[in-house]
Structure 1
């Protein structure tokens, strides 16, 4: 997937986060916003664990002295471009300890990328440093690869070799690619069940997986692992508290990646990730948290959460947060078949209207100044549509875009946390997509723990208005525990929202195949996640034709 409108980080094909550009970013304290944070908060957020002058001269731990397996958190790859892909791992021989078991020492790690799973034909290799300042994470932007290629990769530290991962590059710019198969997932509360969905997704034949947010949850996890109900291995007390510090967030990422099914799906497919709220704190909006805390203090927490997220995801060096700020929205391409505009609808949004929750819309929620994306991201998105030459314009993002009435009445309640609470901003995007002639608009959504299929209407209050695109929500991996095929509100939702074509409350993922003639969506579900081993099935399938927006069942 080729980026558009942003510079490539200036590094060699085996770059890791110890180059000049990353050192400068790490020392930069996001002056625009950081100057509003108190000195005490600054010390808490930024002086612990951040590289300072000379910090990259930290003592080296010879890899030969690592006595326990360090690749406990697996491997991952992400954001494939036509000539490169980002590969990731994190060394943690003791993953449930604050320092991962490696203290404050750096470790040299070797890596290799091959054409075959036996690594007989290695096409790229190099070394990178696992630095304590970055939680001993390692990321390598492997360049000089062939467009549309499939590769295998692995890491080594001393006598230890990581599990091998599979990945691929995007087709070349201008390539008339005929098909792409993607999957979308979201909302994987560890304490709500087993990652059976990920086990099945690891076996699917997909080119790329989009994770649409709530990769982890900030809530305490008890010694039994919540709904997982461990009886033989109790989790340590470090997880039985809400995450607020950098150490807390690092440990929570380690807990999640200790799951073998999550490690398996990362090893099987490249990911494109974006966050929602729970990676930091429930329903936060910009600098405002759920409980109305001092914004200066919340930005300290946000800085810790953003930093840990970057350390633990396959994101390039230029996505490194600067204090409480991080540029996560980005544009990727798949030849001429698809343009992906990956959004961030948390960092820049106005605070929710009417105290959040469900509310009848009114002057506060409909204020034209309110925004989910911020002005800069909104302009970037609409300008990107205007410049797009792709057949499909795909918008992976977090919260429900289409109108979703919770009552069958003229004064129906809407969710103030979703686009319904920012209707003026949604209206600008709908108008922008129409004016730009954004062909075959497809929105991918997470957040709501159910599967939906919507027709995106020019006017959601007029069922006869033009259909401009399609929205697919991917339900949850575990969040909400075991779901049901027809939630209690199924009948109300279907009657109140005539543009809603599908509603299912089970856990799963959505698989989408983009082609030159149409796009097909399959809603893949499992009957339970509180017990392991549930089978997967297809709940429903829909097709939308290229050049003729609107869903029809298959």
Structure 2
């Protein structure tokens, strides 16, 4: 789809009951029962509210007739390449209404990119169409930009001008970039507190932000906004229910993106995003839902959730879902300094072993056929490592990769939702990294609402085995509420997992500075998010040297 022109007919995006939903169900089902074709088709037609064939012929609204600010959800950029970057906004003068206040008409939106924040040196401009079928979102893939350059961008609809955003392109392919500073964030349950962490990310001097999943949560948000007690906003009842339909997910993004601290972070830096479970439903596995609902019904929900995710993120057309499927794993480069292999460990995984309860390793969880990535993505990852010319191979992904024993007994329980529940999958990836000669492997992880610094071991059950990489979990932006520096299980975890070098359960983010000699990892935390405006401090810093895997205090 060309962002500055008319999109392809929706039929080409495979929003077809038979080809998309039923095909995915047949591929992914396994042990769950399957509905008849007629029942699945009826469920799709009843539940999705996805656009009909030919719907992009909607009439155009004269943007001069928009009477209130349509840029209430801010602006964003993402997935920088050496010559391009994606720009995003979504028009919603009434963000808490299902249609955003713009009905079913399309709207022309002008955009421009400049070298300066005052837009005196504009280098590119154009017009995009905001279609109601895409919730009036705009995705502009700006081409022909100069590598390694900071740019400013903005949008205009009628008389309304958006806030300006700042972005940057990646260094030229093959160039020896000297350094890169990135932030890693995850898990921002709106109802658990303020996005103070994101305000500090906005103010930090980083080149790039990785969002590692749980951008939103499907759970109900009450009229007070949960723990956000110091605002006088009364939320409408549309948020006080679990997200199920396309309208529900779109509205939930409207709620989250109405937050000014989140808007500030997006406006300040380009984002690279990947999803985890709560963008759809807690701990879903491929086509298997958390609860016992018909699988075709769940795939309808997944299609709606994936659709709303794309509409609300700075992603290219390649990531636009086709029914309940989306190609979300992808690869970016920062010259020869870093290769980023962004994973999707949710869409293709086997169902969790042992009914997704903490459990010691056993025959079910260690079945060699089990996968957390799916065979195609696993092969893509290993092939990418073999072809990599980067000094640092960075793997942004969702759930804890390293072993994490919950107690000190010989048969300690592990998480069946993390890589511990897919040990054959992990062993193949570790072996693939070793075979490809990946010497400087950095894993960025979200999900767990705590900060860890971990040495990745060739054999986690043998502390003396080789260290093959480094993993950091970035704690959460808000999920889990305020948190504490040392939770009750701190001593147990540190003793049970000798490869764990740091553990902190406060809210925050990780800042990673990569250069030709080392990567420095700063764990940035705030004391509370239950009240707005808390200061940020660095609770710990580590380095891992190029060519010498393993963490050392900075």
Task: Normalising by structure 1, report the TM-score.
Answer: 0.96
Counterpart-to-counterpart distance in 2, 1:99 and 1:465: 57
Counterpart-to-counterpart distance in 1, 2:52 and 2:20: 20
Unaligned runs of 5+ in 2: 26-36
Match of 1:89 in 2: 89
Unaligned runs of 5+ in 1: 1-8
Deviations 1:330-376 (A, max 9, x none): 01000000000000000000000001131111100000001000000
How far is 1:44 from its partner? 3.0
Match of 2:410 in 1: 410
Counterpart-to-counterpart distance in 1, 2:489 and 2:74: 40
Match of 2:58 in 1: 58
Match of 1:359 in 2: 359
How far is 1:453 from its partner? 0.3
* DSSP 3-state at the match of 2:267: helix
The 1:30/1:201 distance shift into structure 2, 3 A limit, reads farther
Deviations 1:388-433 (A, max 9, x none): 0100000000000000000101000000000000001000000010
2:21–2:300 contact (8 Å) kept in structure 1:
no
Counterpart-to-counterpart distance in 2, 1:317 and 1:501: 40
User: Residues 23-34 of structure 1 correspond to what in structure 2 (within 5 A)?
Assistant: 24-25=12-13, 27=15, 31=19, 33-34=21-22
How far is 1:23 from its partner? 6.4
1:111–1:153 contact (8 Å) kept in structure 2:
yes
Counterpart-to-counterpart distance in 1, 2:44 and 2:291: 21
User: Residues 154-553 of structure 1 correspond to what in structure 2 (within 5 A)?
Assistant: 154-229=154-229, 232-553=232-553
Counterpart-to-counterpart distance in 2, 1:268 and 1:321: 27
How far is 1:22 from its partner? 6.8
Counterpart-to-counterpart distance in 2, 1:51 and 1:166: 36
How far is 1:50 from its partner? 1.4
2:20–2:324 contact (8 Å) kept in structure 1:
no
Which residue among 33, 40, 43 is the counterpart of 1:41? 43
Aligned Cα root-mean-square deviation (Å): 1.3
How far is 1:293 from its partner? 1.7
Counterpart-to-counterpart distance in 2, 1:23 and 1:338: 38
Match of 1:20 in 2: 8
Deviations 1:65-121 (A, max 9, x none): 000100000000000000000000000000000000000000000000000000000
Counterpart-to-counterpart distance in 1, 2:10 and 2:429: 34
2:182–2:206 contact (8 Å) kept in structure 1:
yes
Task: Normalising by structure 2, report the TM-score.
Answer: 0.96
The 1:460/1:309 distance shift into structure 2, 3 A limit, reads same
2:21–2:296 contact (8 Å) kept in structure 1:
no
Counterpart-to-counterpart distance in 2, 1:258 and 1:513: 30
Runs of 4 or more off by more than 4 Å in structure 1? Answer: 26-30
Counterpart-to-counterpart distance in 2, 1:30 and 1:457: 45
Counterpart-to-counterpart distance in 2, 1:127 and 1:439: 45
How far is 1:32 from its partner? 5.5
2:544–2:550 contact (8 Å) kept in structure 1:
yes
Counterpart-to-counterpart distance in 1, 2:356 and 2:86: 37
